[in-house]
Amino acid sequence: MTDEVLVYALTTCPWCRKTKQWFTDSRIAFEAIDVDALPVEEQDEAAEKAYTLSGGRRFPVVVINGEVIVGYSPDKFLEHLKGWGG
Protein backbone atom coordinates (compact mmCIF):
# COMPACT_ATOMS: atom_id res chain seq x y z
CA MET A 1 0.00 0.00 0.00
CA THR A 2 1.52 3.28 -1.07
CA ASP A 3 0.96 6.39 0.98
CA GLU A 4 0.38 9.71 -0.74
CA VAL A 5 2.45 12.34 1.03
CA LEU A 6 2.68 15.98 -0.01
CA VAL A 7 4.61 18.61 1.92
CA TYR A 8 4.05 22.33 1.38
CA ALA A 9 7.15 24.07 2.71
CA LEU A 10 9.29 27.18 2.63
CA THR A 11 13.02 26.98 2.01
CA THR A 12 13.63 29.42 4.88
CA CYS A 13 11.60 27.42 7.43
CA PRO A 14 13.65 25.20 9.78
CA TRP A 15 10.59 23.09 10.70
CA CYS A 16 9.92 22.53 7.00
CA ARG A 17 13.48 21.29 6.50
CA LYS A 18 13.14 19.06 9.56
CA THR A 19 9.85 17.63 8.24
CA LYS A 20 11.32 16.81 4.83
CA GLN A 21 14.37 15.27 6.50
CA TRP A 22 12.13 13.11 8.71
CA PHE A 23 10.36 11.66 5.66
CA THR A 24 13.70 11.13 3.91
CA ASP A 25 15.27 9.45 6.96
CA SER A 26 12.15 7.30 7.40
CA ARG A 27 12.39 6.24 3.75
CA ILE A 28 8.87 7.44 3.05
CA ALA A 29 8.32 8.73 -0.47
CA PHE A 30 6.91 12.24 -0.55
CA GLU A 31 6.44 15.17 -2.87
CA ALA A 32 7.65 18.52 -1.60
CA ILE A 33 6.47 21.88 -2.85
CA ASP A 34 8.81 24.64 -1.71
CA VAL A 35 6.38 27.49 -2.22
CA ASP A 36 9.01 30.25 -2.14
CA ALA A 37 11.20 28.41 -4.67
CA LEU A 38 8.46 28.11 -7.29
CA PRO A 39 8.38 30.44 -10.29
CA VAL A 40 6.70 33.70 -9.26
CA GLU A 41 3.60 32.96 -11.31
CA GLU A 42 3.04 29.69 -9.38
CA GLN A 43 3.79 30.93 -5.84
CA ASP A 44 0.41 32.58 -5.15
CA GLU A 45 -1.56 29.51 -6.19
CA ALA A 46 0.56 27.15 -4.08
CA ALA A 47 0.48 29.52 -1.08
CA GLU A 48 -3.30 29.80 -1.37
CA LYS A 49 -3.65 26.01 -1.49
CA ALA A 50 -1.50 25.64 1.64
CA TYR A 51 -3.51 28.41 3.34
CA THR A 52 -6.80 26.68 2.49
CA LEU A 53 -5.55 23.34 3.78
CA SER A 54 -4.08 24.70 7.02
CA GLY A 55 -6.53 27.47 7.80
CA GLY A 56 -3.71 29.98 8.06
CA ARG A 57 -0.28 30.98 6.85
CA ARG A 58 1.60 28.25 8.68
CA PHE A 59 4.23 25.87 7.39
CA PRO A 60 4.90 23.05 6.90
CA VAL A 61 1.55 21.75 5.70
CA VAL A 62 1.67 17.98 5.27
CA VAL A 63 -1.06 16.05 3.47
CA ILE A 64 -0.97 12.29 4.07
CA ASN A 65 -3.61 10.21 2.30
CA GLY A 66 -5.92 13.25 2.29
CA GLU A 67 -5.39 14.14 5.97
CA VAL A 68 -3.83 17.51 6.76
CA ILE A 69 -1.20 17.94 9.48
CA VAL A 70 0.17 21.42 10.16
CA GLY A 71 3.66 21.64 11.59
CA TYR A 72 6.35 19.10 12.40
CA SER A 73 4.61 16.21 14.14
CA PRO A 74 6.12 12.76 13.52
CA ASP A 75 3.53 11.09 15.78
CA LYS A 76 0.70 12.52 13.70
CA PHE A 77 2.52 11.61 10.48
CA LEU A 78 2.74 7.99 11.64
CA GLU A 79 -0.96 7.93 12.58
CA HIS A 80 -1.91 8.64 8.96
CA LEU A 81 0.62 6.46 7.16
CA LYS A 82 -1.03 3.21 6.08
CA GLY A 83 2.27 1.37 5.79
CA TRP A 84 3.18 2.20 9.40
CA GLY A 85 0.12 0.77 11.11
CA GLY A 86 -1.86 4.00 11.01
Residue 2, pLDDT score = 80
Residue 32, pLDDT score = 98
Residue 86, pLDDT score = 45
What separation, in Å, do the N-terminal and C-terminal C-alpha atoms of the chain show?
12
Is 72 buried (19+), middle (13-18) or exposed (0-12) by CB count in 10 A? Answer: buried
Q: Which residues of the chain register pLDDT less than 50?
A: 86
Homologous superfamily (CATH) for 5-84: Glutaredoxin (3.40.30.10)
Cis-peptide into 14, omega within 30 deg: no
**Amino acid at residue number 54:** S
Residue 1, pLDDT score = 58
Where along the chain do its domains lie?
Answer: 5-84
